Amino acid sequence: KAGVTQTPRYLIKTRGQQVTLSCSPISGHRSVSWYQQTPGQGLQFLFEYFSETQRNKGNFPGRFSGRQFSNSRSEMNVSTLELGDSALYLCASSRASGYNEQFFGPGTRLTVL
């Protein structure tokens, strides 16, 4: 069974631009969560989607948004990029929300110049 895939793996943007990251969950998984990983803040929860509905959102500004499609694939978007948005963005999928094992993808490394 294929694992969680994220595209692109690496991305370089400049301040003020916007970016869209994509996540394809494991087949049969309906829940997708997004995390931001930085050396200073560690792993921080961004949001979770289940059956195309946002279930929970972390403490991030409104520039961070996401969505989930009917095939459970998810995208997250960051608008008006700032230098501090440089991070590894990780996607995790699970069969359902709640206490289910989450499987992480390799992440998208975003660099904002």
Partner 1 sequence: GESVGLHLPTLSVQEGDNSIINCAYSNSASDYFIWYKQESGKGPQFIIDIRSNMDKRQGQRVTVLLNKTVKHLSLQIAATQPGDSAVYFCAEHGSSNTGKLIFGQGTTLQVKP
Which span (14-22, 64-72, 79-87, 101-109) binds partner 1, by CB under 8 A? 101-109
Q: Write the CB contacts of 50 (distance below 8 Å, at least 6 apart in sequence).
A: 30, 31, 32, 68, 96, 97
- Give the whole-angstrom CA distance, residue 60 versus residue 27: 29
- Give the whole-angstrom CA distance, residue 90 versus residue 3: 13
66 binds partner 1 (CB under 8 A): no
Nearer to partner 1, 56 or 80 (CB): 56
Give the total of residues touching partner 1 (CB under 8 A). 27
Which residues are at the interface with partner 1 (CB under 8 A)? Answer: 4, 31, 33, 35, 42-45, 48, 50, 55-56, 58, 90, 92, 94, 97-107
